[in-house]
Structure 1
Amino acid sequence: MSRRNTRQAHPSIRSRVAVIVAGVALLSWAGPGANAFWASVANGGSAAAAADAVAAGATPSASVSAGNVTLAWKAAATLAGRPVSGYTLARYASASGGTRIAAGGTCTGTVTAGLGCTDQGVPTGTWYYTVTPVLGQWQGPESVRSAGAAVDTTPPAAPTVSAPAYVNSATVATVPVSGTTEPGASIALTVKDAGTPVHTVTAAVTADASGAWNTAVNLSSLADGTLTYSAVATDTAGNQGNPTPPGTVTSVKDVTAPTVSGVVLADGGGKGGKIEPGDKATITFFEALDSSTICSSWAPGAAGTLSGDNQVTVTISAGNVLSVSVDSSACPTSRIGSVALAGNYSPSGTLTYKGAGGSASTVSWSPATRMLTITLGALATGSANNGTVKAAVPTYTPTGGMRDVAGNALAVTPVAGSSSSF
């Protein structure tokens, strides 16, 4: 090579040396917290070196829903302000150390669109996430790890459900339903009737810190009969309980008030037309009453009889109205009602019938036949009319507080019976 050619080669050599020196200088300047890149740019026969470094990624935020973790972070750039081209996401099982696990879902590979993604199907545990910015073939330092993201992929068990045995006219608009589940879980409640077609009412409620939940639902739109309550829980991690089977319970809807279907006077003493021991007044209802609302010592739904010595007193007023009083030791609260006899059985004053043993006055109730029967015992005071009373139509007036088994109140309106007499 000639000396002239040797001189002409010197500028090119010097340019390459400058790039190398600039790169070395950049790596030295950037330190361990950044990765460097450099480039040579020709301009009119001369060359200049440019160098920069990718800054560390920003610590991401993490929010959890069931087995998914949604991540968000701030944009990263080089130290010279150049935007990066993407980000890689990773998770660790501890706040420091441990094995780096590449994020999945929409966080798989290098995220180039936006500043967020969702790591899907994450196992149960507490996870810590990092962001690493990428620029071409270069990548910056991994970010500081996020706060722990607690992932719970276990669905809650079926919640317990409690509802009243009966829904009546007084409660149908605000039926109380309650139960227990995981603390803080949300409950999806469904109530269905047995109609054709089936009608449905839904409600949503959140359990308190102890797992207790309660709500009130309006079931006016559902048909009378059996109601089925179903509840499915979704825990605070977003896991929904298996809806098969859900927590269930049933009740009976009956919003129809009970009514009197018949009032009959029957001769029991053999002397028709004269009131005497053994005569009966029987009141029949369209449906069974709650036994305890007739006599507070009777169990709901059970048959009952009051027949002790002088336990029941039947009174016939001067106005020929039959009424009953019961010894409070046998029945602390009694609701039997009264019967207007519509016949002149008492010429004057008051007649009372009670007695002991087989001669005692009695009151009996049969849920099976829906009959309330009052039987006169021995005459205690007064003198009955000896004349014959023509057939008359008695009228029964209930006592307030009598209810059917669903809790619907029996109206206190007088009800006329059939034409009959003692």
Structure 2
Amino acid sequence: MSHDQITPGRSGRLRRASRLSGAALVAGLLAAGGGAAAFAYWQATSSTQGGMAAADSLQQGATPSASAAQQSVTVSWAAGTTAGGHAASGYTVRRYNASTGGTPVAATGGCAGVLATLSCTETGVPNGTWYYTVTPMLGNWSGAESARSGGALSDGTPPSVSVTSISPAPNGAGYDNTSPVVVTLTAVDNPGGSGVASVRYALDGGQPVTVAGSAASVSVAGDGTHTLVYSTADQAGNVSAAQTLTVKIDTQAPAAPTLAVPAVVNAANAAALPVSGTAESGSTVTVTASDGAGHLATGTATASTTGAWSLPTLNVTALYDGAVTVSATAQDAAGNTSSATAVSLAKDTAPPTAPTMSAPATVSAATAASVTVSGTAEPGASVALKITDAGASHTVTAAATADGTGHWTMPGLNLTALADGQLTYAATATDAAGNTGATATQTGTKDTVSAAPVFTTVPSKITSDSVSSVQLAGTAEAGATVALTATDSANHSATASATANGSGNWSATMNLSALNPGPLTFSAQATDVAGNVSTVTTAASRIGPKVVSVTLQNGGTAGTADTNDKVVVVFDEAMSPSSFCDLWTSPTGPWTQNTNSVSVQITRNAGNDTLALPATGCTTSNFGSLALGASYTTSTGGNLTFKGSGQTQTSSVSLSSDGKTLTITLGGIKSGTPATGVAAGTPSYTPATTGTPTDTGGVTLSTHPVSGTSSRF
């Protein structure tokens, strides 16, 4: 080679360098090659003009060592140098999944990049065996990759451990009734793992015990519930999650159960004899009943958390009548059985004969609250009596005990709750053993209620003309006395009575003159021949209005019919405004009509002139006429008409806001000559015979004339 030096470019191409100058030279890559001396460096031997350079090279990286802890691998290596003894400036680390061949993977984590240290740790390494290499670096130049380290096993998966045997095996409830119990734990590692290192356990919260290897046997002794907590670890330090095993040991037999049975077995309970008692909580109680002939009946029950147990359906029908023995034992969940508890009782399933009975044929209102029933039955037997009405809608029950001679009686029975009609008496005897015999029956009749009367004729509206003789009629039980009452809104009443004939018809006349007008209620109550009183029947009606007073009032010149004189008619209740004038439709008053169409006319009538309203401006003209009790007209002047027009005062008709006072006011006189100095007379009011005014309930005013008090215009 000449004095010119050859260096490789970064692209791998060779190019010639110029002759070195006298200036200090910087090191550069000489040549690329293979093998242990993959790269060579050169350096100046002099700083003078024409100085020469000597070659140097990086050595192959030293073979590293690799050790794993779970999924962390630590890699260590020796320092690298050049052939001339110069130290490498850094190192890169790679790993392979095989000792030869394969594709390298750049190390990660603490082993990534160019390292200045001689060791590093890569974490999170995937499970498996890995082989590491180290490549020395000097500046931008790399040496040869080292040989691969020994395999480092990365293992991040813990082994598993399970209970492979329990000796002796527990029963179906999870109990052993012998002690001790040996539990065998066996651990296995995952395929390709580091292998099981140990099994660890703690019993009942005690100190943990670590057993090397993949199996451990644990002895659990003593009655009670034991808790075994266990886990395993592999060679890489992975530890499995702790698991728990419950071991229940009970070697003690439970105490004998208590036993409660009926005093006797009878026909009613033989198919389902109720047996109960107490025993150890959760234990199974076995009950056996036996007779003297070797027949058996058995059943089981489970004691509750409080120890109570019940067997309500023990069937002992196959056992003979006579002495019966019932015994019970308790077996706990571990299979330990207690001693037996036994009770003796008698069995009697023969029923007594039906009792005899004497009951009244008829129950009336006078006797319904205290009826006596008696009879005979088996001595000492309990007799149950049941009395029902038709359809068994209502029931009365009673009980008595037959004396030593077999007689029984039940006095003072209250049958008022039973309906009238047929009664059925049913008596049943039950002997001392509780056996019930056949039922004896007898029928009777109860009649305690009078049929309610019915109104067939009742006026819905009663005018003051007929108020003194109101006709009523209806029906009731034949021969019954009917009490009639009429009541007004002020609670005033009038009464009458009637008797229903053989067909049940009745009628009566009532005088209601003392009652107020307005709403009225009729009521009727019947009392039959047996003295039974019916319920009250009611019917609605209404008493119509009447005139209370008629007066003339002077508003101008005394003794003369002139402007502002008034006729005042007072009624005993509110009148319907529209029945006087169809224009008066407002729901509230007072109501007034005072237009020019209102005309008041006084007609001459032989010393008793009459006042009428021939035109009021209303299509309804129901006022009628008023006799003034004197002559307000002259023989020469003729009839008088009061009807204002223009500026002259108009006549008016008004009804007070309470509907009880009708006032007619004379307006300006239009025609006729009024008399003067007329003395007071007695006016009278005669309602119209057609379209008669009505009260607010629609009942018409009496059409008979009504006299007022002495008065004058």
If the length of structure 2 is used for normalisation, what is the TM-score? 0.29
- Higher normalized strand content (fraction of residues): 2
Specify the structure having the higher radius of gyration (Cα): 2
